[in-house]
Amino acid sequence: MSATVFSDSMIEALVAAAAAHPRRRLHRNVHRSYDDPCQRLFNAIGVDSYIRPHRHSLDPRDECLVAVRGAMALLVFDDCGAIRQAARFGVPAANMTERLNAGVEVPAGVWHTVVALAPGSVLFEVKAGPFDPAQAKEFAPWAPEEGSAAAQGYLAQLKRAVGSSW
């Protein structure tokens, strides 16, 4: 067996496919099966992609998110939807003066979302398996549904909260 290489061309292709996708994001699994004990994936997220705040409480698993490209922010909420933490992470561009965190770890049961702050942003996610799609996440009742009229306005509000000026 040989090692798997994650090439820049693979990342570029994922970013291009995400840009063409209606949700403006797309993931590529690295694990072989949902039954694998370690779930690993790349997730390309466009700056206009809204990921509805959610938590992993039905099948509680911590998740680790590491920046591969671009810049993102993790937002953590309380049970009423108030932002309790915002953490920028990413791979700084050559012209950036701000130092960014490399990644974040989100404990199981915590309301959260990720917003992309730079075009072509990609993260690598690691979570314990096995993965049950029926138990994957619980959506926040106080956040707009993805695709709703209110979703893009809420995304803009979240970006203002992290001081997005990319």
Residue-wise pLDDT for 23-47, tens only, equals 999 999 998 888 888 999 999 999 9
Residues of the chain with pLDDT under 50: 165-166
CB atoms within 10 A of CB 16: 13
CB-CB neighbours of 132 under 10 Å: 11
| Closest alpha carbon to 124 in 74, 69, 66 | 66
pTM: 0.92
Q: Which structural domains are found in the chain, ordered by start? A: 8-161 (2.60.120.10)
